[in-house]
Amino acid sequence: MAKTMLGYIMIGPKIPLGINWAYYNEYFQWMLNHGTELKNIDNMNWWRAQKNERERNLPSHPNRSPRHIPARILNIREDLMLTQLNYLFGEHEWKEGRYSNDRHCRHCGVYMKEVSEYIRKIVTTVDDLFSFQDNDKEDFESALQQALDFYDDKYSELVKEKARLNLPEYGQRTMFGNKYGWCPVCWEDVIYPKLGWDDRLE
Ligand SMILES: [Zn+2]
């Protein structure tokens, strides 16, 4: 590293007014110390390649495909993400109650239980109107539209918008759950893109 950390801060990222500089410095230092992992945060092939000898030589098992990544490695990746979330958004009890939807999204404020309830009602309604044996994809789309129309004025725009990634699709369902305190839409659009390596450091 040719430049000093302060140099990086001065010429590099725009730092919001009022930010604690010492804290930012620590964050950048942490990123530099974990540069390789952070640059590969989205690259699951890289994480898969981190298997140790024992993990590479595990006997084959019906529940373990060659694409399997051991929990040990996934936990390292997750701990990095959690540390970065702490740096970016403040300390938070990530692991405590992280599977509970009894909370509001930390970004948009939507109540997770309400989104979850809305999705459940859409799914139930679609199930009443559509069956895989008797209907095809077009019928599915029309059943989904009917369900959406039926609940349209019963939920706020915010709830409906934040449900969009978890609506049922033809032949596919996604579980709704908060991601470390954010709703899936805020996580996908706002929070997750901030994770990993910060290109402004190079
Ligand atoms: Zn949100």
Instruction: Please tell me whether residues 45 and 121 are part of one structural domain.
Output: no
- Give the per-residue pLDDT at 4: 46
Give the mean pLDDT of 85-104.
Answer: 78
**Percent of the chain scored above 70 by pLDDT?**
85
CA of 179 to the centre of ligand 1 (A): 10
Query: Bigger pLDDT: 2 or 110?
Result: 110
- Same domain for 42 and 142, yes or no, is no
Q: Are 6 and 95 part of one and the same domain?
A: yes
What stretch of H or E contains 146? helix 137-151
User: How sure is the predictor about 168, in pLDDT bands with cuts at 50, 70 and 90?
Assistant: very high
- 11: pLDDT strictly greater than 70: no
Query: Ligand 1 centroid vs 19 CA: distance in angstroms?
Result: 24
Ligand 1 centroid to 67 CA: how many Å? 32
Give the whole-number percent of the chain exceeding pLDDT 90.
55
Structural domain total, the chain: 2
My answer on whether 133 and 82 are in the same domain is no
CA distance 94 to 113: 18
**Residue 112 counted as domain residue:** yes
Say how far apart CA 194 and CA 187 lie, in whole Å: 10
Same domain, 93 and 12: yes
Domain that holds residue 113: 100-182
In a domain, 61, yes or no: no
Calpha distance 186→182 (Å, rounded): 6
**Is 125 within the bounds of a domain?**
yes
Q: Provide the angle, in degrees to the nearest 10, between the axes of the packed helices 21-33 and 71-89.
A: 160
Would 110 be classed as within a structural domain?
yes
Q: What local confidence, expressed as pLDDT, does residue 191 receive?
A: 93
Question: Same structural domain for residues 154 and 129?
Answer: yes
37 and 75 share one domain: yes
Give 180 Cα–ligand 1 centroid separation in angstroms. 11
Q: Are residues 123 and 95 in the same domain?
A: no
Backbone angles phi, psi at 179, to 5 degrees: -110, 100
In a domain, 73, yes or no: yes
In the predicted structure, residue 8 carries a pLDDT above the cut 90: no
pLDDT of residue 20: 62
Q: What is the CA(137)–ligand 1 centre distance, in A?
A: 30
CA of 107 to the centre of ligand 1 (A): 5
Mean per-residue pLDDT, 120-138: 89
pLDDT for the residue numbered 122: 96
Question: What is the whole-number distance in angstroms between the Cα of residue 152 and the centre of ligand 1?
Answer: 19
**Distance, CA of 188 to CA of 190 (rounded, Å):** 6
Whether residues 191 and 92 share a domain: the answer is yes
For residue 133, being part of any structural domain is answered with yes
**What's the gap in Å between 162 CA and the centre of ligand 1?**
6
Whether the predicted pLDDT of 22 surpasses 90: no
In this structure, the answer to whether residues 190 and 143 fall within a common structural domain is no
| 140 within 8 A of 170, measured Cβ to Cβ | yes
Same domain, 125 and 156: yes
For residue 59, tell me if it sits in a domain: no
For the residues 49-63, what does the mean pLDDT come to? 85
Assigned domain for 130 exists? yes
Ligand 1 centroid distance, CA of 110 (Å): 6
Find the 185 Cα to ligand 1 centroid distance in Å.
Answer: 6
* Same-domain check for residues 43 and 94: yes
| Gap from CA of 105 to ligand 1 centroid (Å) | 5
149 CA → ligand 1 middle, Å: 23
- Listed range (20-24, 143-147, 160-164) with the worst mean pLDDT: 20-24
Distance, CA 104 to ligand 1 centroid (Å)?
8
